[in-house]
Amino acid sequence: MLELPHTIVGAAIAAKIGNPALSLPLALASHFALDLLPHWNPHLNTELNKFGRLSNKTLTFIATDVFLSLAGGLLIASTVLPDQTKFMYVITGAFMGVLPDVLEAPHFLTSLRIWPIEKLLKFQKSIQNDAPPFLGILTQVLLLAAVFAWVF
């Protein structure tokens, strides 16, 4: 799944559930739950195995996704202001929502192969529910709409 829905769901969980001892682990768990939904994202493994590196087009796509994720996370966090403590929890929730993918960044961006990260990668690959682009984007747009309706 793209990082934007992962971020938004993690942030929304932290914004809606007051207790961070509950919301932050839930935000992390949401990452794996969301990857079970049919979705489309660039196939980084396939590209890496085929060309040895990610294309500039894919890197630009990822950078855009990350930028939108930061903006979306901040937008949801802004709904709990002026409570600055809760604001920090929502930002942390957003981060927990993407943490498994963030941990994989060295695999895709460097030649480092770190055993626990390779394990995580294998696990995440095993739970992905890949869908063709149209359906796979539609599910993520509907998910975003549902979460925004919940938060705002």
The only residue of 75, 124, 137, 148 in contact with Zn ion, by rule CB under 5 A = 124
Residue 109 tokens, joined: 């961006």
Q: How many residues bind Zn ion (CB under 5 A)?
A: 4
In sign, the C-alpha dihedral spanning 105, 108, 109, 112 is positive
AA identity, residue 19: N
**Which CB, 87 or 95, lies closer to Zn ion?**
95
Within 90-109, the residues that bind Zn ion by CB under 5 A are 100-101
> In angstroms, what is the C-alpha Rg of the chain?
16
Within 40-69, the residues that bind Zn ion by CB under 5 A are none
**Which CB, 65 or 101, lies closer to Zn ion?**
101
Peptide bond into 106 cis (omega under 30): no
* Contact positions vs Zn ion (CB under 5 A): 35, 100-101, 124
